[in-house]
Amino acid sequence: MKVSYFPGCTLRTKAKDLDKYARDSALALGVTMEEPDNWQCCGGVFTTSRDEIATKLSSVRALMDAKSKDQILVTVCSACHNVIKQTNHAMQTDEEFASRVNNYIAPENYNGEARVMHYLELLRDEIGFDKVKEKVVNSLSGKKIAAYYGCLLLRPNSVMKMDDPENPSIIEDLITALGGEAVVYPQRNECCGGYIALENPEAAKTRSNTVTASAANAGAEMIVTACPLCKYNLEKNGSEIPVVYFTELLAEALGVK
Amino acid sequence: MQKITADMLIEKAVSLLEAGTISRVLGWKKGEFDYDVTPYVFADAESLKKDFVFDDFCGANFSKYLVAETRKAEGKVLVFLKPCDTYSFNQLLTEHRFDREAVYAVGIPCEGMADINKIKEITGDGISSLTSKGDKIVVDTIYDGEKEVDFASVLAERCVSCKSKKHVAYDELMGDEGDITDSARFDEVAQLEAMTEDERFAFWQSQLSKCIRCNACRDICPACTCEKCVFENPESPVENKAISDSFEEKMFHIIRAFHVAGRCTDCGECSRVCPQNIPLHLLNRKFIKDINSFYGEYQAGAEVGSRAPLVDYTTEDIEPGEAVMKGEGENA
Amino acid sequence: MQRIGVFVCWCGSNIAGTVDVQAVSDALAHEPGVVHSANYQYMCSQAGQNLIKEAIEEHKLTGIVVCSCSPRMHEATFRKTAAAAGLNPYMVEIANIREQCSWVHKDMATGTEKAIILGKAAVAKVNLNAPLTPGESPVTKRALVIGGGIAGIQTALDIADAGFPVDIVETKPTIGGKMAQLDKTFPTLDCAACILTPKMVDVAQNENIRIFSYSEVTDIKGFVGNFDVTIKKRARYVKEDICTGCGLCTEKCPMKNVPNEFNLGMDNRRAIYIPFAQAVPKVATIDPEHCNMLKNGKCGVCAKVCAAGAIDYKQQDEYISEKYGAIVAATGFNPISMDKFDEYAYSQSKDVITSLEFERLTNAAGPSSGHLVCPSDGRHPHTIVFVQCVGSRCASCSEKGKEYCSKICCMYTAKHAMLTRDKYPDTEVYVFYIDVRTPGKNFDEFYRRAAEEYGVKYIKGMVGKVSPENGKLHVQASDLLADKQLHIEADLVVLAAAIEPDKSARPLATMLTASMDTNDFFTEAHPKLRPVESPTAGVFLSGACQGPKDIPETVSQAGAAAAKVIGLLAKDKLTGNPCVANSNELMCNGCSSCERVCPYGAITYVDKEFRMPDRTTKVRRVASVNEAVCQGCGACTVACPSGAMDLKGFATKQIIAEVDAICK
Amino acid sequence: MQVNGEYKPLIVAFCCNWCSYAGADLAGNNRLAYPENVKIIKVPCSCRVNPMFILRAFQRGADGVIICGCHPGDCHYTSGNYYTRRRMSLLFSMLNFLGIEKERTRVEWVSAAEGAKFAATMNEFTEAVAALGENKRLEDLRCKR
Amino acid sequence: MKKELEAIQSEVIRRSGVNPKKCMRCGKCSGTCPAYDQMEYHPHQFVYMVESGDIEPLLKSDSLYQCLTCFACVDRCPRGVEPAKLVEAVRLQVVRRQGNNHLKTDSIPALIDEDMPQQALVSALRKYSK
């Protein structure tokens, strides 16, 4: 199958691994990821304000491109995913917002017709974890791995609709499919501090340490994440256990690393 | 021109008759003129081969005939249903008007039906024969000889704004299944809504004054299957069998539209059969449009057993005063 | 042709002051069908009524019109007058020429003119009136109570005390309901078992009461006074009449690891079990899902040890049909699932429990024999956090919580907190609340005692997250008054889960054609004046199936429902309202439109044979109105496109006649 | 209708027995005046009002028709007025579609306690209908006097 | 001034799409907020102060820049109030004014290290500046 793929700015620079392993693994699973032409940065965060139009246009353009190709728009970075999915939702549900956006993109017209999926959802809902499991060549053989969702993957739940926001299982199920042992810990869906790291590194440190300590307490040997900023914050603030992208884990298990 | 031919339907009917699945066939019979096709019950292969027709003039919706026909004899009736007919079929089932088991329904695709009046507008009267040829109809007239008209240009109004090419009920489907179409069927209603009150009154006064109370609209309507119609019941306050004055014309059409409101599937038979060419479907469509806008989209006959909007409510329904404003304001 | 008498009342000067009564009676004397017309000072007086009676006899009147005050005032009076003179009371029509004429108009000419028109409308209507007789139906003097909790128990006992037989249908193997699971009861702290179990014994011993336990209602037909009900007695594989309840089988059964639902899965029972010591009926039940003998034919221990020979592995479900005059819904409530509230880590830690689980934990007959322990490891909890309103007052998402206040949580939490501090003074107890709601006798005093005397720490704020870390529960919460975010290391977190109607209520309501609100609570016939009746005649409501309630309220409502049932069953016959719908079968299409708008389920369909023009007969489906159930609103008459449905007393022809008379 | 050469609109008011008829009685109790050409017909519930009744009234010379029932949620029969609300919304919208003046028809919820509202409604409605003049668009010439 | 604040209040409500009247003052947002200790005004106070029109202190507060937009308050609010959207709407009221950018591009180099992902920069800029 072919999907549209929005890599996002960070995956082109600081998080090249996240990107590379995602592409390689997808190929191994029979999925071709095609980048839209001339995509632009999503902006990193979704501005919830209904009158904020211009900053959402890059997302809309990527969505329209996917719509025109009749493809699912897939993202790997949690932040891009959050921004694009929320933008799509706003295009579907907020008529006023949509009409203002459509003024910018006229003569074209878009009303949220494209489907947005996180790479994880693609694995779960389109490919199927069973199929992923069949393709595993290097089983993670019982390695204790903690999934770190952070905030962007799951919330707001009414829009993201990816998993139970308080008791998610999508990454755990992936870990299990790859042969690892998923470690569940209470802080997995709490914020790492995000962009506050820029202005108030101390606050980010407190948040990040809470998360990594919680995972370590639960016996994890490794933390996986889908978000470059999460990875940065957890690592920068001295996580005792390694933090890796879930795509790296996937590529390793599929034997394409 | 239709994708399916009379021969194909005859073959289907004959094979079902021979297999004993059915005992008779409700179908279109050749009439005096090529465009004058009448519903008929065929009981054997011979009569089918002789008289059964299917072409661009077979608009009649057979659903209603099932109410009476299924009561007549044992065995199943074969009925051919175009997509729009299947909605009436379901609505009648919802209202328990015939026994589903007594019917064998074959869904057939429809390319839209021709309107003889539109043809006559182009060719004039005196049509002696009509032959469909691809996207043309060849018309032979006794005065001017042969003429060709575009099928698309003489498509019946209800087919121009066809709401669905998808069958919602059948035992067996012939040909390909279509989709629910994105129809502009409410445009005419919206145009009227946009007029002033006086203009609307003038429009309807002139239209309804043409009414001769022939009752054709009622008799053809698949939603009008009452055992006894209120207009013919001496016990009823609206009993009136003949044309009398402008009030009666309005009364008849308002009450008739109200009685079928929420049950009308918008099959368009009323306008098709009106000898005075009154656009009666606009009354029904007004109700459908209002129902959709007041209470949410509802398509009568889309599924068996659905609760019609007039026998349903929510505690948050729109108030009549606001409804009237909404009914004239929201044309878009 | 009717012979109509018209009687115009002066009402002293109330009418006569603005209406020329003589002119009215003169004018109406010439109306079609009128054979007598008179006026008098006070028609409602004894003398006035005698005037009417005499005229009825003298002029052989078949109908009368009284032009007087509002029918809401004296329609009943004049109907009685007519009946006394041998005239059918429904041949009386009132023209309201006081409230709706003389009192709102000042000018004699206009008042008189309007009074005449109103009189003419009444005459026109009476010309089309037909004598009506209220339908009568017998009453089966037996009541059915669905649900055997405290609501059902109290209702059944009260009905039985009045001498009527009652059946209780309970889905569980024992009656007792939620109250049997409670430890103490607020605000008096008496032990729930001590006050409930004697009532359960009363039920068992009452000759008028039968208990169908482990049973459910599968079908209800009929109407007020005459319900036909089918009850499914599920096979319990134990002969109820032989089992002595000795309990030996429940000790010997080798299947030891079946989660015990009575203790909310906090301990285990056997495959054959008696839910608790005071169960009524005290009879064992085999759980077919866990019994080896029933699953694969291997075992049979219980049959071997049963000295009475009560075990019957071949037992089948049994269907019982019974007739009832009245039905009481007492299906109760359940706490909602905590699945959608995992920020409180209910699924992640055994030490996060619901309040009902807390009841079992503190109950002497519970899984920890009444010792308050952490379910995870049995240690004594030193810090306990109670969280209020979990899923109550929750409007954000209907799948998650309930928009209403569950009403009982504030008080039981105060009870839990107080009892904990009383028994274990070394514990720290926090209660996070949004509002503390204590309207009830001695309720606020009780809550204040918990805070003031027992030192329970009430904090206005809400818990945002519970994190199970290192065997403790890290509770992050807000303290709104101190304007702080709190972090508490707790041993036990207790969630006050919202309550919702039992899942069996919705299908039951469908069977009863009783209405429900959007939350699946039964709707009452009138929220203030008929709070224990369903709008469906003969159906009554008891307990939390109507809305969240505590025990005292439930018991009061249970008694009230019983009083209503007794009032119904005390009648030999039910007299209906004769102004009911009636269907003309010849015209009926059988389309179901009328059935769909009927709020009372009074319309059913029957297949009827009709002679066709060709002399054959055909069966057609036609509507049939149950006159005992119909309340006469008329919704069906307009839903009917063919005009087959009409309303007696307000027939289409009658109303049209009034319209014509007014518009003439 | 013409009364002594002067135009006075004839109003037919269908009132439900439980709320609106009682509301009208209360207006009387409180001596709250409204035009005498308002004539009330009692029905058990507003849902008893058939569109045929309304058309009949116009045919016979009414200039305005108003239907009064219990407030939504307060129906004595629990749901009758909800059906009224739907039926009349659609019927009145249709009449408007046909060019019949929308001011001639109305639904008003009047409780048994709202005597003042009943009188005010009738005054206001009569005035609105009077402003339109005689009902010409739904008249039946045969019924003219 | 009162008029101006009222205008800001309605603008904030319109822009955020939040109805602060739905708040029942349970405080779950503040119980759940990971940035609580960095804030002068806490999520529940944002809701209350916008509702009551007491917006001026919020406009001046550094709390505007402490919200992590983690949406925990949005998801956990039992009334569907969505406090994070209000915080954002108030912040935009400030940063959209000329010269009111909280984060200036000039100051960025001093704040970052070589590992910091672009995502952090663009997010912060979008949140704090116009």
Give per-residue pLDDT as tens, A149-175.
999 999 999 999 999 999 999 999 999
* Mean pLDDT split into 10-residue runs, chain D, 145 residues: 76 95 93 95 97 94 96 87 97 96 96 93 96 90 71
| The two three-digit tokens of residue C130, written as one number | 């037909």
Query: In Å, what is the CA distance from A183 to each residue of A120, A143, A173, A219?
Result: 18, 10, 11, 7
Distance from the Cα of E28 to chain C's closest Cα (Å) equals: 5
Q: Is residue A112 part of a domain?
A: yes
Same domain, residue pair A111 and A184: no
> What pLDDT, on a 0 to 100 scale, did the predictor assign at position B234?
83
Same domain, residue pair C175 and C228: yes
Q: Is residue C208 part of a domain?
A: yes
- Answer whether D touches B (≥3 Cβ pairs < 8 Å): yes
Out of C96, C128, C160, a domain closes at: C128
Of B97, B227, B263, the CB nearest to C587: B227
- Smallest Cα–Cα separation from D40: which of D72, D61, D65, D6? D65
- Report, as an integer, the average pLDDT of B206-217: 92
Is residue B331 very low, low, confident or very high in pLDDT (cuts 50, 70, 90)? Answer: very low
Which residues, including other chains, have CB under 8 Å from residue B155's CB and lie 6 or more apart? B112, B113, B114, B115, B118
Helix (H) or strand (E) holding D82: helix D80-97
* Counts of helices then strands in chain A (DSSP H, E): 13, 8
pLDDT at C366 over 70: yes
Average pLDDT over chain C reads 95
- Report, as an integer, the average pLDDT of B42-59: 92
| The two three-digit tokens of residue D127, written as one number | 């005035």
Q: For the packed helices A246-254 and A170-177, what is the interaxial angle rounded to 10 degrees?
A: 20
Domains observed in chain E: 2-96 (1.10.1060.10), 102-130 (no CATH)
Of B200, B258, B294, the CB nearest to D99: B200
Domains observed in chain D: 2-137 (3.40.50)
| The two three-digit tokens of residue B296, written as one number | 């949410």
In D1-145, which ranges are E strands? 2-3, 6-7, 11-16, 38-43, 64-69, 105-109
Same domain, residue pair A147 and A113: no
Instruction: Give the pLDDT confidence of A58-90 residue by residue, as tens digits.
Output: 999 999 999 999 999 999 999 999 999 999 999
Out of A94, A120, A146, a domain closes at: A120
∠ CA B270-B276-B280, nearest 5°, is 35
Mapping DSSP to helix (H, G, I), strand (E, B) and coil, where does residue B52 land? strand
Cα–Cα distance, C288 to E74 (Å, whole number)? 46
Distance of CA D145 to the CA centre of its chain: 22
In this predicted structure, which of C136-140, C518-522, C615-619, D45-49 has the lowest mean pLDDT? C615-619
Same domain, residue pair A113 and A190: no
Same domain, residue pair A89 and A200: no
Cα–Cα distance, A210 to A197 (Å, whole number)? 15
| The two three-digit tokens of residue D16, written as one number | 């439900």
Same domain, residue pair A136 and A221: yes
Interchain CB contact of E36 with C (< 8 Å): yes
- pLDDT above 70 covers a percentage of chain C that reads 100
D partners (3+ CB pairs within 8 A) are B, C
Cα–Cα distance, B11 to C150 (Å, whole number)? 70
Q: Provide the residue range defining the domain that includes C86.
A: 4-128
> What pLDDT, on a 0 to 100 scale, did the predictor assign at position D75?
87
Cα–Cα distance, B127 to B117 (Å, whole number)? 11
Instruction: Give the pLDDT confidence of C56-104 residue by residue, as tens digits.
Output: 999 999 999 999 999 999 999 999 999 999 999 999 999 999 999 999 9
- Smallest Cα–Cα separation from E72: which of A42, C336, A194? A194
Same domain, residue pair A248 and A139: yes
Same domain, residue pair A55 and A82: yes
> What pLDDT, on a 0 to 100 scale, did the predictor assign at position B243?
66
Interchain CB contact of C109 with B (< 8 Å): no
- Smallest Cα–Cα separation from C355: which of C259, C451, C497, C466? C497
Instruction: Give the pLDDT confidence of B77-136 residue by residue, as tens digits.
Output: 999 999 999 999 999 999 999 999 999 999 999 999 999 889 988 888 888 888 888 888
- Smallest Cα–Cα separation from D47: which of C134, C661, C598? C598
Same domain, residue pair C372 and C457: yes
Answer yes or no: are the C-beta atoms of C62 and C127 closer than 8 Å: no
Q: Is residue C561 part of a domain?
A: yes
pLDDT at C614 over 80: no
Interchain CB contact of C121 with D (< 8 Å): yes
Same domain, residue pair C193 and C114: no
- Answer whether E touches A (≥3 Cβ pairs < 8 Å): yes
Out of A81, A98, A120, a domain closes at: A120
Same domain, residue pair A152 and A237: yes
User: Taking CB atoms and an 8 Å limit, are D97 and B192 in contact across chains?
Assistant: yes
Q: Provide the residue range defining the domain that includes A53.
A: 2-120
> What pLDDT, on a 0 to 100 scale, did the predictor assign at position D3?
64
Same domain, residue pair A229 and A135: yes
∠ CA C176-C177-C181, nearest 5°, is 90
Total number of domains in chain C = 5
> What pLDDT, on a 0 to 100 scale, did the predictor assign at position E63?
95
Query: In Å, what is the CA distance from B29 to each residue of B54, B57, B126, C647?
Result: 8, 11, 21, 45
Residues of chain A contacting E15 with CB distance shorter than 8 Å: 49-51
| The two three-digit tokens of residue B142, written as one number | 């006794």
Residues of chain B contacting D79 with CB distance shorter than 8 Å: 313
What are phi and psi for residue A188, nearest 5 degrees? -65, -20
Same domain, residue pair C428 and C490: yes
CATH of residue C612's domain is 3.30.70.3270
Q: Is residue C543 part of a domain?
A: yes
Same domain, residue pair A58 and A153: no
Q: Is residue A125 part of a domain?
A: no
Q: Is residue C491 part of a domain?
A: yes
User: Taking CB atoms and an 8 Å limit, are B95 and C641 in contact across chains?
Assistant: no
Q: CA C398, C404, C408, C413 torsion: positive or negative? A: positive
pTM of full prediction above 0.80? no
Distance of CA D68 to the CA centre of its chain: 7
- Smallest Cα–Cα separation from D111: which of D76, D139, D79? D76
Residues of chain E contacting C393 with CB distance shorter than 8 Å: 24, 26, 78-79
The number of beta carbons lying within 10 Å of the beta carbon of residue C379 is 12
Answer yes or no: are the C-beta atoms of C231 and C282 closer than 8 Å: no
Residue B133: exposure state from Cβ atoms within 10 A (0-12, 13-18, ≥19): exposed
Total number of domains in chain A = 2
Same domain, residue pair C598 and C559: no
Instruction: Give the pLDDT confidence of E26-52 residue by residue, as tens digits.
Output: 999 999 999 999 999 999 999 999 999
Same domain, residue pair C200 and C189: yes
Cα–Cα distance, A160 to B207 (Å, whole number)? 54
Interface of E with C in 75-104 (CB under 8 A): 76-80
Same domain, residue pair A136 and A160: yes
Mapping DSSP to helix (H, G, I), strand (E, B) and coil, where does residue C110 land? helix
- Report, as an integer, the average pLDDT of C257-266: 96
Strand order in the sheet with A73-75: A32-34, A2-6, A73-75, A116-118
E partners (3+ CB pairs within 8 A) are A, C
CATH of residue C155's domain is 3.50.50.60
CATH of residue A42's domain is 1.20.1050.140
Pick the more confident residue, C653 or B145: C653
Q: Is residue C653 part of a domain?
A: no
Same domain, residue pair A154 and A247: yes
Distance from the Cα of C344 to chain D's closest Cα (Å) equals: 38
Distance of CA B139 to the CA centre of its chain: 25
| The two three-digit tokens of residue B45, written as one number | 């292969």
> What pLDDT, on a 0 to 100 scale, did the predictor assign at position B332?
37
CATH of residue A215's domain is 3.40.50.11810
Q: Is residue C654 part of a domain?
A: no
- Report, as an integer, the average pLDDT of C509-526: 86
